[in-house]
Chain A
Amino acid sequence: MTKTSNATSAESLKAAALDESRRSEALRQQADNITRAAEGRYNQAVKLDGPEARGALVEVMRDMFAATSIYRAAAVAQDSAIQLIFASDRAAEIDADGAEAQDAAKFTYKAVDDARAFLTHRDGKAPTQRQIAAFLGCSQGMISKLIRAHKAATDRGAA
């Protein structure tokens, strides 16, 4: 994953976490409102007698069950928000690691470039990859990989 797409995913995850957190709060408020309404019904129910009172009580219970379901949904949304915050933090960490790796690769390629310049100046002609590898004390394959990676990064930048 590139630096840009990681940064985007960290930000979008953070935005999603905020949305879930807001949704949780809205659900909790909705459940609180239903509870308050149920309490009002309860206050009316206690003034009644006999089967009518029981019927009113069942109505209050129905509202309370609805409120409970909404409280549960609020808890699930809150949990999702927490998970999304963790995911956002992880994406940001990966982004930082990626940026560090890119910096390291740039630094390493600079060593190849400097070696090539030095050898060209010393020998009066451009060195081969084998000569650069011998000068830097690493394998020719490593030099080849670094040059290919640098070319790919440059092409991506140009595109």
Chain B
Amino acid sequence: MTDARLIHVTLLGLLNDLHKAHIALGKRGHETHSMKTAKALIAYNRAKAKEQGESV
């Protein structure tokens, strides 16, 4: 597994955990600031991987 792929999978886990934590806090249906940041990280990692000819 490439580093980019590993980071991608980890970030997806992070996003899922954030989602669950926010549902537990009663914020179902809201995209929180932290989730937006996690999604931005995923997009950034994907773009960087693409630049280097890797696929996530």
Which A residues fall within an 8 A CB radius of B? 28, 31-32, 35-36, 38-39, 42, 45-46, 53-54, 57-58, 60-61, 64-65, 67-68, 71-72, 74-76, 78-79
B18 close to chain A: CB less than 8 A: yes
- Give Cα A67–Cα B24 distance, bound, in whole angstroms: 15
Task: Tell me whether chain B's interface is mostly helix, strand or loop, or mixed.
Answer: helix
- Kindly report which residue of chain A lies nearest to residue B18, judged by CB atoms: A68
Given contacts A46-B44, A54-B7, A78-B25, contact A68 B14 (CB under 8 A): yes
Q: Are B40 and A42 in contact (CB under 8 A)?
A: yes
Of B20, B24, B41, the residue contacting A79 (CB under 8 A) is B24
Q: Are B14 and A35 in contact (CB under 8 A)?
A: no
Would A39 and B10 count as touching, CB distance under 8 A? Answer: no
Across the A-B interface, give the 7 residue pairs with the lowest CB-CB distance, nearest first. A75-B24, A71-B21, A35-B34, A72-B21, A68-B17, A75-B25, A39-B37
Which residues of the other chain, A, contact B18 by a CB distance below 8 angstroms? 64, 67-68, 71
Contacts of A39 in B (CB 8 A): 33, 37
**Residue contacts A-B, CB under 8 angstroms, 25 given:** A31-B34, A32-B33, A35-B37, A36-B33, A38-B34, A42-B37, A45-B44, A53-B48, A54-B4, A57-B7, A57-B48, A61-B7, A64-B18, A64-B34, A64-B37, A64-B38, A64-B41, A65-B17, A68-B17, A71-B21, A75-B25, A76-B24, A78-B25, A78-B26, A79-B24
Q: In this complex, what residue of A is CB-closest to B24? A: A75
Contacts of B4 in A (CB 8 A): 54
Tell me, in angstroms, the Cα distance from A116 to B41 when the chains sit together: 86
- Per the bound structure, the CA–CA distance linking A76 and B25 in Å amounts to 9
What 18 additional pairs, Cβ within 8 angstroms, besides A38-B37, A61-B14, A71-B34? Answer: A35-B34, A39-B37, A54-B3, A54-B7, A54-B48, A61-B11, A61-B41, A64-B18, A64-B41, A65-B14, A67-B34, A68-B17, A68-B34, A71-B18, A72-B21, A75-B21, A78-B26, A79-B24
